Amino acid sequence: MLVTSCTSSLLHEFSFLSERCHPVIKEDHVTNIYRMMVDIAHPSLYYIGLYKLGSPFREFCVQADLAAALIAEKIPTPSREEMEKDYQDTCKKNVTYRGLKPKNFHTVSWNYYDTVCKQTGQQQPDSIMAKKLYNRFLGNFYKDFFQFKRGIYKRLDSENFEVVYEPEVFST
């Protein structure tokens, strides 16, 4: 059993793994992984945090929950066929249907978090407010990369937040 944290946003060296269990990497895409983290050929090998775009800490949390549930046998490990089907479906959804390159396989979305949380029986904390805030933050990122981190936000409740401060460029 090996759980590895891939916190370097797709640095796929994996030099610590032997050739026998080294993942196949094509075009900056780790292939044959279930739920973007379980090596299908070696189902006791977990890659936590393989992402290209997403919310890394939320991803780490839901993936760690899934790995823990599988390791502790709190949920059944899917069959190889089920894992391969999930991988193929994810490839189609993240790459093929969107006309993107294989490296975009590792793009996570709220649907991914919801799916993994449902599988483990975990509930995403404040997911409605978090989605709204993330979408605001991401929109600001695309408007002005150099200022997007300057916003200050206050959580009002489980569904809403308030803008305390944002640079003027984001008010348009």
Instruction: Report the residue count for the chain.
Output: 172
Per-residue pLDDT tens digits for 83-125: 999 999 999 998 999 998 888 888 888 888 889 999 998 876 6
Domain boundary among 100, 120, 140: 120
User: Which of 138, 118, 128, 129 shows the shortest CA–CA distance to 35?
Assistant: 118
Q: Do residues 115 and 134 both lie within one domain? A: no
pLDDT at 60 > cutoff 90: no
Q: Do residues 138 and 110 both lie within one domain? A: no
For residue 19, the tally of other CB atoms under 10 A from its CB is: 5
Q: Do residues 94 and 35 both lie within one domain? A: yes
d(CA 17, CA 163): 46
Domain boundary among 80, 103, 120: 120
Q: Do residues 111 and 132 both lie within one domain? A: no
pLDDT for res 7: 56
Q: Enter the tokens of residue 152.
A: 């200050």
Q: Do residues 114 and 131 both lie within one domain? A: no
Distances (CA, A) of 70 to 44, 73, 78: 9, 5, 9
Q: Do residues 8 and 67 both lie within one domain? A: yes
